[in-house]
Amino acid sequence: MATPDLFASPGPSPADRISELRTELHQHAHRYYVLDEPSIPDADYDRLFQELQALEAAHPELSSPDSPTVRVGGKPLDQFASVRHAVPMLSIRTETDTEATGAHNFDSRVRKELGLAESDPPVEYVAELKFDGLAMSLRYENGLLVQAATRGDGEVGEDVTQNIRTIRQIPLRLLPHPNPLPGGEVAGRVEANAGGEVAGRREANAEEVTPTSSLSPWERAGVRAPPAVLEVRGEVYMRRDDFESLNEKQREKIAQGAKNEKTFVNPRNAAAGAVRQLDPGIAAQRPLSFFTYGVGEVTPQEEGGPQFETHFQLLLTLKSWGFPVAAYTQTAQGAPELIAFHEKIARERDQLPYDIDGVVYKVNSLALQKKLGFVTREPRWAVAHKYPAQEQITTVLAIDVQVGRTGKLTPVAKLAPVFVGGVTVTNATLHNEDEARRKDVRVGDTVIVRRAGDVIPEVVSVLADKRVTDAPQFTMPRSCPVCGSDAVREEGEADYRCTGGLFCGAQRKEAILHYAHRRAVEVDGLGDKLVEQMVDANIIRTLPDLYKLGLTALAGLERMADKSAQNLLQALEKSKSTTLPRFLFGLGIRHVGEATAKELARHFGKLDAIMDASEEQLLEVSDVGPIVATSLRTFFDQPHNREVVEQLRACGVSWVEGKPAARAPQPLSGKTFVITGTLPTLSRDEAKDKVEAAGGKVAGSVSRKTDYVVAGTEAGSKLTKAQELGIAVIDETGLLLLLEAPAG
C-alpha cells in the first residue's frame, strides 16, 4: 500500500482556481476575438469555461461582474437609465470634398491655425477609419468595466452596460497584453530597459536588477498599468459577414411564419438595434464587434494617471490594455501621406470586413491638439473625410429571375443606372419572393439601393409616396426561366428551386462536379477549373457529354497536355463501372445524401423501381421522410432528368442491380454515429465507411437519436452537445473495439 505524501502541496483553493480560470479565459478570448490568433482548441476553451461555471455555482459568494460567464446578459430592463458624460462625446467636422483633395484642405487649415510657413516641416497626423457604427463610451474603474453609455446628445447618453457586456471583444477586466512598437519598444512603458529586456527593471543608483517575481503582471508584460479611472471611446459595429448571417436567419424565421420578425436594412441599424435592446438576452444573440479610437475621462497625471505625448501612443497603450484598434490606423506626414491613405482605403474599401463611410485625420501631437482647440464644440485638430454614399435613389425598370448554380431562383431588380459606393449599379437583389413582397417592390417604383463591400447591391426600401404606376405585385414564376423545368418551394423554405438539375444550363458546373465527386461516381482529375473551362467553351452541356469527349478537344484546353487528357479519358472510362448507391448520389437529387442513396438501393434494388416509385412507396424506405420522398418524385417527374439518366446508361455507365442478399447481423446495426474532430489514424471518410460497412449509420449532427459520438482532437460544439445530452463519447480506439465486437 502506497504511503501518502504528507508533505505534498494542497491544490489551489476555489477562490484561487476561479481567479486563475477567469484570467486564462480572458486571455484566450482576447487572442481569439481581438487578435484573431486562437491559442487553444475550442474544446479546451469550453472545458475551462465549464469548470469555471461549476466552481461559481458551488461558490456563489465568489461571483464577480468581470467573470467571462456573465457575458450572456442579465434580466430585461424596463428602460435605459441616463448617463451624463464626465467628458462630452463631441462630433468632428466633416470635410465636404469627398475627393482626395479634401485631405489637402484639412492640412492647409491646420498649418494656417498653427502659423506654419511652407518651409516648416510637415504636420504629423494619425489616419484612421471612420466606422459606420454606434459611438460608445466604456468606463473602467480599477480595471473593471462598470458602465457603458451611448453618445446620446454628446452630454447625456443611455446606460447600455448589460448589452455591451455581451460583446466579446470588449474586456470585462483589463489584463496586460504586450504590444511591440517600431524599434523594439513596448507600448506604454515609462522607462526603456537596456537591451530591450522586460524580465527585470534596474532602479536608479542600484546595483541589482529587481527580480521578475517582485514585478507586477503589467511590468512583467512590459506595459503600463491602466489608471484608476479610464473611459475608452470607440465604435460598436457589425461585420458584414455577421450581418448577412443575421439577415439569413431572419429570412428563415419569416419564411417559417414567425411574427414580428424582419430583416435589417444595414449593419449599422442592426448594431444600433442590438445595443438598444431592453432584453440583454436578445442583444447577446446579435454578433457585435468593437474598435477603440480614443478616451474620455482619465485619472490625471498628478493623481497617478498616464501621460501621453501623442494620439498614436495613446492608441497603442489602449491596445496593450486589451482593446481592439483597427489595423489600418497609421501615422502620416503632411497632406501627401493623408491623400495616399485616403486613396488606398478607397481602393480597399470593398474588401474590408466591415462598413466605413470615410476616414478620419487627427493631429498626432496632443500638445498641438491643445493649441488648436475647438470651434463650436468641434475640434480644429480632427476631420472626417467621407467617401461617396453607398445608398442612392433610382427606379426599377423590370424584375427578372436569375438561377444560381444550385438551382436557387432569385428575383433581381433591373435599375436605371445609378452610381453607388464607387460603381455604377444596374441590378439589385430582392433575395426571394417573400422579401420582394414584404418590401412591395414593383416595376416603375422609386427605390433606395444599397451597395457595401462584396455584397450584391440590394433594394433597401420603396419610396411608396413616389409610386406612379399600378404594376402588379411580384410573383415568382413556377417554371425555371433557363430550362423550363418546374420551380418548387419546399415547405418551410424561403427559396424556389429549379428541379431540372441534370439539364438546366445554369446548374451544369455544379451538377458535373457533384457527379464526379469521389464519394459519388468518381472521375479522378476532373476538378473545378477544368469543368469551368469545358462548360464555358461549350464542350460539355450535360453529364453524358463527359463520355463523348475526345483527346483532341481536351488537349486544346488551357494547361491540358496530351498526357493529362489521356489520364482524364481513362478516369472517365473507369467511372462507367460504379454502384447504384454511388450513381444515385451522383445525380445530385436534393436531400438525397450517401446514406439515403444506400437505403434506396437496398430497398428497391433497381434504378427503374426507384424512378417509378410513388411517394407512398418511397416512404417505406427507412431513411426516407416526406421531404425526401417529394424531392425524389419531383426530380424523376422531370422528363429532362429522365432523359439524362437514359443517356448516361447508353454511354455505358452501369452497375450490378438487384436487392442484396439478407445480411447477417452486424456489430453496429441500428446504431447512429456522429464523427467529429481529427482522429489519430483514420480520416473522417474512412471512419464513416467502416461504420456503414458494419451496419451503422453516420449522421452530420448530434441529436437524442445519436448513439455514439466519435471525438478526435478539436472536436468543438458537437462534443459539447453530446456531453449536454448524455450521449456516449468514444475515441478512435473505442470505435475500433465496437467494430470488432460480435454482432447482436
* Alpha carbon separation from 235 to 73, 448, 451 (Å, rounded): 20, 26, 21
Query: Using an 8 Å Cβ cutoff, are 157 and 150 in contact?
Result: yes
Whether 326 and 412 map to the same domain: the answer is: no
Whether 170 and 45 map to the same domain: the answer is: no
User: Which of 435, 466, 497 is the last residue in one of the domains?
Assistant: 466
Specify the pLDDT at position 527.
87
Whether 500 and 606 map to the same domain: the answer is: yes
- For residues 468-491, give the mean pLDDT: 88
Tell whether 563 is covered by a domain: yes
Query: Using an 8 Å Cβ cutoff, are 405 and 510 in contact?
Result: yes
Residue 220 has pLDDT above 80, yes or no: no
Tell whether 196 is covered by a domain: no
Question: Which of the two residues, 61 and 125, has the higher pLDDT score?
Answer: 125
Whether 19 and 37 map to the same domain: the answer is: yes
Reported as a single tens digit per residue, the pLDDT across 180-213 is 433 333 333 223 333 333 333 333 333 444 455 5
- For residues 386-406, give the mean pLDDT: 85
Whether 222 and 348 map to the same domain: the answer is: yes
Range name among 136-150, 707-721, 722-736 with the lowest pLDDT average: 707-721
Tell whether 78 is covered by a domain: no
Q: Of the candidates 696, 742, 593, 623, which has an alpha carbon nearest to the alpha carbon of residue 730?
A: 696
Specify the pLDDT at position 103.
93
Q: How confident is the model at residue 177 (pLDDT cuts 50, 70, 90)?
A: confident
Residue 457: which CATH number? 2.40.50.140
Reported as a single tens digit per residue, the pLDDT across 9-68 is 556 787 888 888 878 777 776 665 555 455 666 566 667 777 787 787 777 787 777 677
Q: Of the candidates 207, 209, 206, 183, which has an alpha carbon nearest to the alpha carbon of residue 198?
A: 209
Q: How confident is the model at residue 389 (pLDDT cuts 50, 70, 90)?
A: low
- Percent of the chain residues past pLDDT 90, beyond the cut: 35
Tell whether 202 is covered by a domain: no
**DSSP annotation of 155:** S
User: Which of 413, 431, 466 is the last residue in one of the domains?
Assistant: 466
Provide the domain count of the chain.
Answer: 5
* Alpha carbon separation from 127 to 112, 400, 431, 540, 624 (Å, rounded): 20, 43, 37, 52, 60
Q: How confident is the model at residue 7 (pLDDT cuts 50, 70, 90)?
A: very low
Distance CA 203, CA 223 (A): 17
Q: How confident is the model at residue 77 (pLDDT cuts 50, 70, 90)?
A: low
Tell whether 337 is covered by a domain: yes
Residue with cell string 424561403: 494
- Supply the residues annotated as catalytic: 130
Query: Using an 8 Å Cβ cutoff, are 687 and 679 in contact?
Result: yes
Computed over every residue of the chain, the mean pLDDT equals: 83
* Alpha carbon separation from 20 to 55, 133, 241, 262, 481 (Å, rounded): 12, 35, 34, 43, 62
Specify the pLDDT at position 454.
45
Residue 28 DSSP SS3: helix
Whether 164 and 291 map to the same domain: the answer is: yes
Reported as a single tens digit per residue, the pLDDT across 230-263 is 999 999 999 988 988 888 888 888 877 777 777 8
Whether 144 and 244 map to the same domain: the answer is: yes
Whether 450 and 513 map to the same domain: the answer is: no
Whether 407 and 315 map to the same domain: the answer is: no
User: For residue 730, what are the domain limits?
Assistant: 672-740
- For residues 619-629, give the mean pLDDT: 88
Residue 555: which CATH number? 1.10.150.20
* Alpha carbon separation from 406 to 331, 468, 499, 632 (Å, rounded): 47, 37, 10, 16
Whether 293 and 412 map to the same domain: the answer is: no
Residue 6 has pLDDT above 70, yes or no: no
Q: Torsion angle of alpha carbons 360, 365, 366, 368, nearest 10°?
A: -100
Tell whether 56 is covered by a domain: yes
**CA 497 to centroid of chain Cα atoms:** 26
Q: Which residues contact 599 (CB under 8 A, 6 or more apart)?
A: 621, 622, 623, 624
Whether 21 and 132 map to the same domain: the answer is: no
Residue 263: which CATH number? 3.30.470.30
Whether 578 and 698 map to the same domain: the answer is: no
Reported as a single tens digit per residue, the pLDDT across 285-312 is 888 999 999 999 999 988 888 889 999 9
User: Which of 441, 466, 491 is the last residue in one of the domains?
Assistant: 466
Q: Is the pTM of this model over 0.75?
A: no
Q: How confident is the model at residue 481 (pLDDT cuts 50, 70, 90)?
A: very high
Residue 65: which CATH number? 1.10.287.610
* Alpha carbon separation from 200 to 46, 163, 178, 206, 219 (Å, rounded): 35, 41, 15, 13, 8
